[in-house]
């Protein structure tokens, strides 16, 4: 199957997108210098939102309406079963999700305006005979890019040592040293494939967690489009039942590509109930992958653990969760990092999605978050558009930093 796992392994395409990310990062730095709801609860039944049917206004693309958060402003379509009979035969108008290579090209051109923190480093290092001020500039550059204190120390040590040994101001040599060190820190040996295909007669099951506002719902929608583009049968579960607009937002994403959404009609309903129903239905309909959005209320560790633990437990009554992705906003720095740590403590994260890298000078966070949590960044969010999500490839990322 021509699935995302294959695409994750395609360095040429990754090179394009991570190049864009890196240039944005560096530009800013340079300028600076069964039982529904589990065993113990009675819950309202969930309902399924089917894709937009005939007679429903087509949803504008972001290009047509570039204003912020366009998707969440769109009124949810009514359930298609209720569409008037006379228009039932009309074909629904669905988006064709952009292919991964094209979207990457587009993202690169959007982001190519800026410099990169890597090129700032190379520029300073190339001065030769570096004085303390130069070294401080290098250190500041790394810290400002959110590489993290530990990794920054490692890089500094390596560079100082090499500068002493090689004693060169040749940019090409320095680039090689820096490239090797950065790549080691980004760690190309981590498995970044997504476990999101059918296996043992069950769908792949992806659980999306993270703090509200990081881009979880948006990422579920974007990921659904990637899978649809791969001809996978997808089902969404709107288990963020606490945020009023979340289920509608997800339904809108689903409608655009003909993907059903399992949701509750009651705000504040038990998220585990929705998650359970989604996996159950995905399993019986033999879909390829079920994606489940969750609420990311900032609460104490115990509540979060209880809530996510229960969601996962009831999902696994039907099929194992194959991927638990932590969505993290790249612009939130240390604050985001401590939130990420909390989530990682309460649920077994298998991968990280770094969103909003398009608006961030903090690309070094790739290094710090992986070190901190010990799991790979698998996807990066590069904008609010429907196809602004891309797989992450370390070598291409580092190359583009230093290009």
Task: Provide the sign of the torsion angle of the four alpha carbons 108, 111, 114, 116, taken in this order.
Answer: negative
Residue 338 CB burial class (10 angstroms; 0-12, 13-18, ≥19): exposed
Nearer to ligand GDP by Cβ, of 38 and 215: the residue is 215
C-alpha angle 227-228-229 in degrees, rounded to nearest 5? 90
Residue with tokens 């209720």: 82
Tokens 């993907």 found at: 259
The answer to whether residues 354 and 25 touch, using CB atoms and an 8 Å cutoff, is no
Q: Is 353 in the site for ligand GDP (CB under 6 A)?
A: no
Which ranges constitute the DSSP H helices of 167-268?
Answer: 171-186, 216-229, 246-257
Alpha-helix residue ranges (DSSP H) falling in 316-393? 333-346, 365-373
CA-only gyration radius of the chain, Å: 22
| Residue with Cβ nearer ligand GDP (204 or 385) | 385
Residue number, nearest CB to ligand GDP: 381
Measured from the CB atom, the residue of 8 and 402 that comes closer to ligand GDP is 8
- Minimum separation from the CB atom of position 318 to ligand GDP (A): 24
Q: Is 213 in the site for ligand GDP (CB under 6 A)?
A: yes
> Of 137, 230, 384, 387, which one interacts with ligand GDP (CB under 6 A)?
384
Task: Write out 293-334 in H/E/C secondary structure.
Answer: EECCCCCCHHHHHHHHHHHHHHHCCCCCCCEEEEEEEHHHHH
- Does residue 95 touch ligand GDP according to CB under 6 A? no
Binding status of residue 212 toward ligand GDP by CB under 6 A: yes
Establish if 217 lies at the interface with ligand GDP (CB under 6 A): yes
> Contact at 8 Å (CB) between 292 and 207?
yes
**Interface region with ligand GDP, contact rule CB under 6 A, candidates 59-67, 86-94, 188-196, 381-389:** 381-389
Does 214 interact with ligand GDP (rule: CB under 6 A)? yes
Residue 204 interacting with ligand GDP (CB under 6 A)? no
Q: How far is the CB of 329 from ligand GDP (least distance, A)?
A: 8
Is 209 in a helix, a strand, or coil? strand
Q: Give the interface segment with ligand GDP, choosing from 280-288, 308-316, 334-342, 378-386 (CB under 6 A).
A: 378-386
Q: How far is the CB of 72 from ligand GDP (least distance, A)?
A: 6
Phi, psi for residue 45 in degrees, rounded to 5? -65, 150
How many Cα neighbours within 13 Å face the side chain of 356? 19
User: For ligand GDP, which is the closer residue by CB, 4 or 379?
Assistant: 379
Q: Which of 269, 291, 382, 390 binds ligand GDP (CB under 6 A)?
A: 382
Binding track, positions 50-69, relative to ligand GDP; x by CB under 6 A? -------------------x
Instruction: Assess 73 for contact with ligand GDP (CB under 6 A).
Output: no
Closest separation in Å from C-beta 274 to ligand GDP:
15
Q: Which of the 8 DSSP states describes residue 98?
A: P
- Residue selected from 120, 339, 355, 396 as contacting ligand GDP according to rule CB under 6 A: 355
Token pair in block for residue 331: 């612009």
Q: Which residues bind ligand GDP (CB under 6 A)?
A: 69, 210, 212-218, 296, 355-356, 358-359, 381-384, 388
């Amino acid at each position: 199957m021509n699935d995302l796992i294959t695409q994750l392994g395609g360095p040429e395409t990754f090179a394009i997108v991570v190049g864009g990310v890196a240039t944005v990062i560096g530009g800013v730095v340079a300028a600076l210098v069964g039982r529904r709801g589990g065993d113990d609860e009675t819950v309202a039944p969930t309902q399924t939102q089917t894709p937009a049917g005939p007679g429903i206004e087509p949803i504008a693309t972001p290009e047509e309406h570039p204003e912020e958060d366009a998707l969440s402003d769109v009124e949810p379509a009514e359930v298609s079963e209720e569409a008037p009979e006379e228009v039932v035969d009309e074909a629904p108008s669905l988006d064709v999700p952009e292919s991964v290579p094209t979207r990457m090209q587009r993202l690169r051109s959007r982001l190519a305006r800026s410099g990169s923190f890597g090129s700032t480093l190379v520029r300073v290092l190339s001065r030769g005979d570096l004085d303390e001020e130069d070294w401080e500039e290098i250190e500041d550059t790394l810290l400002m890019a959110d590489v993290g204190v530990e990794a920054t120390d490692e890089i500094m040590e390596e560079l100082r040592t090499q500068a002493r040994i090689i004693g060169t101001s040749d940019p090409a040599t320095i680039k090689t040293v820096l490239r090797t060190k950065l790549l080691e820190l980004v760690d190309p040996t981590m498995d970044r494939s997504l476990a999101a295909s059918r296996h043992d007669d069950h769908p792949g099951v992806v659980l999306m967690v993270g703090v509200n506002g990081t881009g979880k719902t948006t990422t579920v929608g974007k990921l659904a489009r990637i899978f649809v583009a791969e001809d996978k049968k997808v089902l969404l579960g709107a288990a963020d039942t606490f945020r009023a607009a979340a289920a509608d937002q997800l339904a809108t994403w689903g409608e655009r590509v003909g993907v059903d959404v399992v949701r509750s009609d009651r705000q504040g309903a038990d998220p585990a109930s929705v998650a359970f129903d989604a996996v159950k239905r995905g399993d019986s309909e033999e879909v390829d992958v079920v994606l489940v959005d969750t609420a990311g209320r900032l609460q104490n560790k115990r509540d979060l653990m209880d809530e996510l633990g229960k969601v996962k437990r009831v999902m696994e009554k039907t099929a194992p969760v194959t991927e638990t992705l932590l969505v993290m906003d790249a612009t939130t720095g240390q604050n985001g990092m401590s939130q990420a740590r909390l989530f990682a403590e309460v649920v077994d994260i298998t991968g990280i999605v770094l969103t909003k890298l398009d608006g961030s000078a903090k690309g070094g966070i790739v290094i710090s978050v992986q070190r901190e949590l010990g799991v790979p960044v698998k996807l990066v969010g590069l904008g609010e558009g429907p196809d602004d999500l891309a797989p992450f490839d370390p070598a291409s990322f580092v190359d583009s930093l230093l290009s």
